[in-house]
Amino acid sequence: MRFLAVRSERDGRKAMFILVLVLMPLAAIAVSGAGWIGRAMTNAGLMGVVEGDKVFVIVSRLLCSKGVFGLIIAALIAALMSTADTLINAVAAIWVNDIWRPHLRPGREDRYYLATARWVSALSAIVGIALVPLFMQFKSIFDAHGTFTAAITPPLVVAVLLGVLWRRYTTKAAMATLVGGTLAIVLSMVFPALIAPFSHGSAPGGEGAKAYKYLRALFGVVACGSIGLFVSLFTTRKPDHELVGLVIGTRDAAIRRYKGSPENTRPGKTVRMQLRIDPEVEIGTAQVSSADRALLAADPGDILYVSDRRWWLGGLRSTHARLATDEPARGEIRLHPQTVEEAQLRAGEQIVTVSKVI
């Protein structure tokens, strides 16, 4: 969801690459740092052997003053709260936008859907708390997390990847992947011997759901992929025009559907313009002069990005607008008052930056 909030498709791609190549390695180093220091201190005789779940807290307490240690614990709690509320918000958004509103209760007011999202959020939190005794049965939170991830993730990942990469993948196959894959994983918890062919000779390491904690993910991927492939071959796929924007290789067609015209790939400049509020302008559109269009390399119907000129706001005050055919004075951009309000741009004589997106 965060990638969908960036300025353009190109910025979204850059954000994903930076996440994988920069932020994830830094996060791995930050998380592992306490363990590395603890291992070095143990080898040097400065600290006894401790459990893996406790090493971070013990190392932090030994190396930091009381104030800094309290700050670290507070940061950990804040990170936990942030992760929890993000997941709860995602559950509520998927339930309301993908299930409740389109299929069960369509056509209601936004206030009704907001109340529904709040109830779903509360129930999601209660379910999460109710699962705590289940996680407490494992020796460590790491083992519990690995077991849970290996059991839940394969059906979701396989369904998403096949849906994005393979046009032959059908709706019925996706449902079969989710339901059948989940049942196969549950069956592997009852009969761990099903995972043995994928274990590469490693020991089960436990019984029932605790056996093959990580290799269960490999078994799940193979089982879910096989189910999805088999069901797809015997069910009817959707026509290509219904897959536009959903499957790899349909980007250009998706842009044509969204814009109503092919993508404008001519390189243009970022231009600073005077913002004018005009109630006569259609909501969601922008009017600029022909001279400014030439600088932007934009044609009527192209999508413009209008933002506050203060770069350090990071796009918090910005909007996308479709370029209209009417022409104001040179150096001006005219927007409807509602568009300006939704973008949180400052009313009055404000200078904004304008660039072409597609």
- Tell me, rounded to whole angstroms, the distance of Cα 355 from its chain centroid: 26
Torsion of CA 273, 274, 278, 280, to 10 degrees: -30
Q: Using CA atoms, how far apart are residues 300 and 259, in angstroms rounded to an integer?
A: 10
What pLDDT is recorded for position 84?
87
With 90 as the cut, is the pLDDT of residue 302 above it?
A: yes
The residue ranges of every structural domain in the chain are: 140-263, 271-356
What pLDDT is recorded for position 119?
95
What pLDDT is recorded for position 64?
86
With 90 as the cut, is the pLDDT of residue 304 above it?
A: yes
Confidence band of 246 (pLDDT split at 50, 70, 90)? confident
Confidence band of 137 (pLDDT split at 50, 70, 90)? confident
Q: Using CA atoms, how far apart are residues 155 and 223, in angstroms rounded to an integer?
A: 9
What pLDDT is recorded for position 1?
65
Average pLDDT of every residue of the chain: 87
What pLDDT is recorded for position 48?
78
What pLDDT is recorded for position 197?
86
Q: Using CA atoms, how far apart are residues 34 and 36, in angstroms rounded to an integer?
A: 5
What integer is the mean pLDDT of 38-47?
83
Is there a contact between 281 and 340 (Cβ–Cβ < 8 Å)?
no
With 70 as the cut, is the pLDDT of residue 348 above it?
A: no
With 70 as the cut, is the pLDDT of residue 193 above it?
A: yes
For residue 321, the surrounding DSSP H or E stretch is strand 318-323
With 70 as the cut, is the pLDDT of residue 347 above it?
A: no
User: Which two tokens mark 7?
Assistant: 């300025």
Gyration radius of the chain over CA positions: 27
With 70 as the cut, is the pLDDT of residue 207 above it?
A: yes
pTM for the whole thing? 0.71
With 70 as the cut, is the pLDDT of residue 82 above it?
A: yes
Largest interatomic CA distance in the chain:
77
What integer is the mean pLDDT of 230-245?
90
What confidence tens digit (pLDDT) does each residue in 276-287 have?
A: 998 999 999 999
Confidence band of 243 (pLDDT split at 50, 70, 90)? confident
Count CA atoms closer than 13 A to 164's CA, side-chain side.
7
What confidence tens digit (pLDDT) does each residue in 259-280 have?
A: 888 899 899 999 999 999 989 9
Percentage of the chain beyond pLDDT 70 is: 98
Q: Does residue 200 or residue 96 have the better pLDDT?
A: 96
- Topology of the domain comprising 271-356: Barwin-like endoglucanases (2.40.40)
Confidence band of 201 (pLDDT split at 50, 70, 90)? confident
What pLDDT is recorded for position 349?
58
| Residue 39 Cα distances to 52, 60, 61, 62, angstroms | 10, 13, 15, 14
Using alpha carbons only, give the angle 242, 246, 247 rounded to the nearest 5 degrees: 100
Q: Which of 2-6, 156-160, 316-320 has the lowest mean pLDDT?
A: 2-6
Q: For residue 310, report the phi and psi dihedrals to the nearest 5 degrees.
A: -75, 100
Work out whether the CA dihedral 98, 104, 106, 109 comes out positive or negative: negative
Strands 285-288 and 350-356: unpaired
With 70 as the cut, is the pLDDT of residue 255 above it?
A: yes
